[in-house]
């Protein structure tokens, strides 16, 4: 009975609204540090758009990244690939207030439609974001979609990660943390990675390693152990 209740559309909608309101409060009360922005901005100027790639565990901080990049003029809109699963719909509702627009699909199984949508956005000079280990893992194992998207579009992959000094860990497959208000957060954008046409498979390990490096840098900046 309880499981059926929490899956009811109205309950999910209310939960998504509350999560979005909570994140907005956290963002307003947090002191932020963003590293590596200049290299990402230069890649946008050179290539028209970029592919922001972050591990699924970083989802709670990414709407702030979209807002900040919009404020700085790096993005016109934020386009994020999420799954058609109920979890993806919930995330979509929660981040709607942050000017995040969704492309539904997956970076792995059955994700062709979503990746095609992202490719069209990149062609229109719109930057996009993708979680290569989403929607359900394995954790920090990148699916091929991010590399193939970079190879076919000619746009650079910018690895992004963030960590808050104060957060609550939840028991999820990705070891996600929910940030707490009135804290300090550190967001790191790694050097852009260009993938030559046809070079997606060969580039995937380097992209995953760069995402891990960005995560390690964010951990170090926040004074936190690697989760």
Domain residue ranges in the chain = 2-222
Q: Cα–Cα distance between 44 and 42 in angstroms, integer?
A: 5
* β-pair type (50-53, 156-164): parallel
Superfamily of domain covering 2-222: Glycerol-3-phosphate (1)-acyltransferase (3.40.1130.10)
**129, 159 Cβ separation under 8 angstroms:** no
Predicted local confidence at residue 8, as pLDDT: 63
Going residue by residue through the chain (227 aa), what tens digit of pLDDT does each one get? 334 434 666 777 888 899 999 999 999 999 999 999 999 999 999 999 999 999 999 999 999 998 998 888 888 777 887 766 666 677 778 887 888 887 766 555 546 777 888 999 999 999 999 999 978 889 999 999 999 999 999 999 999 999 999 999 999 999 999 999 999 999 999 999 999 999 999 999 999 999 999 999 999 999 999 88
Q: Cα–Cα distance between 55 and 110 in angstroms, integer?
A: 19
| Widest CA span in the chain | 55
DSSP-H helix ranges across 72-199 = 86-95, 112-123, 145-153
Predicted local confidence at residue 5, as pLDDT: 38
**61, 162 Cβ separation under 8 angstroms:** yes
């Amino acid at each position: 009975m309880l499981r059926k209740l929490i899956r009811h559309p109205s309950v999910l909608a209310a939960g998504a609204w509350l999560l979005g309101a909570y994140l907005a409060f956290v963002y307003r009360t947090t002191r932020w540090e963003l590293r590596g922005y200049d290299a990402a901005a230069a890649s946008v100027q050179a290539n028209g758009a970029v592919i922001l790639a972050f591990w699924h565990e970083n989802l709670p901080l990414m709407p702030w990244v979209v807002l900040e990049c919009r404020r700085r003029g790096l993005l016109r809109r934020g386009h994020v690939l999420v799954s058609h699963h109920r979890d993806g719909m919930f995330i979509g509702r929660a981040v709607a207030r942050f000017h995040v627009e969704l492309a539904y699909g997956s970076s792995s199984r059955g994700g062709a439609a979503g990746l095609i949508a992202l490719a069209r956005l990149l062609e229109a000079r719109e930057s996009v974001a993708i979680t290569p280990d989403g929607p359900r893992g394995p954790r920090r194992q990148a699916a091929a979609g991010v590399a193939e998207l970079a190879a076919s579009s000619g746009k650079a992959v910018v690895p992004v990660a963030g960590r808050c000094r104060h957060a609550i860990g939840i028991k999820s497959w990705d070891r996600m943390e929910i940030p707490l208000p009135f804290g300090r957060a550190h967001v790191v954008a790694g050097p852009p990675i260009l993938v030559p046409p046809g070079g997606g498979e060969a580039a995937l390990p380097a992209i995953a390693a760069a995402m891990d490096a960005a995560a390690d840098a964010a951990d170090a900046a926040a004074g936190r152990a690697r989760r």
